[in-house]
Amino acid sequence: MSKYVILAATGRIGQLTVQKLLDHSDADLVLYGRNATNRLSQFAGKRVSFVDGDLTDTTATALKQALTGATAVFLAYVATPGIVKPLIKTLDDSGVKRFVAMSVPDVYQEVAGPFQAWYREHTGLVWQTNYVDTVEAIENSDLDYVILRTTWLYDDATKTTVDVTKKGEPFKDAQITREAVATFAGDLLTGKQDYHRESLGIGEPDTAWTKPSFY
Report the distance separating Cα 159 and Cα 92, nearest Å. Answer: 35
pLDDT at 116 exceeding the cut of 90: yes
pTM listed for this prediction: 0.97
Q: Is 95 helix (H, G, I), strand (E, B) or coil?
A: coil
Q: What is the pLDDT of residue 57?
A: 84
pLDDT at 58 exceeding the cut of 80: no
Query: pLDDT class for 75, splitting at 50, 70, 90?
Result: very high
Say if residues 212 and 152 touch (Cβ distance below 8 Å). Answer: yes
Domains of the chain, by residue range, sit at 3-203
Domain 3-203 adopts which CATH fold? Answer: Rossmann fold (3.40.50)
**Torsion angle of alpha carbons 114, 117, 123, 127, nearest 10°?**
100
pLDDT at 88 exceeding the cut of 90: yes
Query: pLDDT class for 48, splitting at 50, 70, 90?
Result: very high
Q: How many CB atoms lie within 10 A of CB 136?
A: 13
List, for residues 141-200, the tens digit of each pLDDT value.
999 999 999 999 999 999 999 999 999 999 999 999 999 999 999 999 999 999 999 999
The percent of residues in the chain predicted with pLDDT above 90, rounded, is 97
User: What's the rounded mean pLDDT across residues 72-101?
Assistant: 97
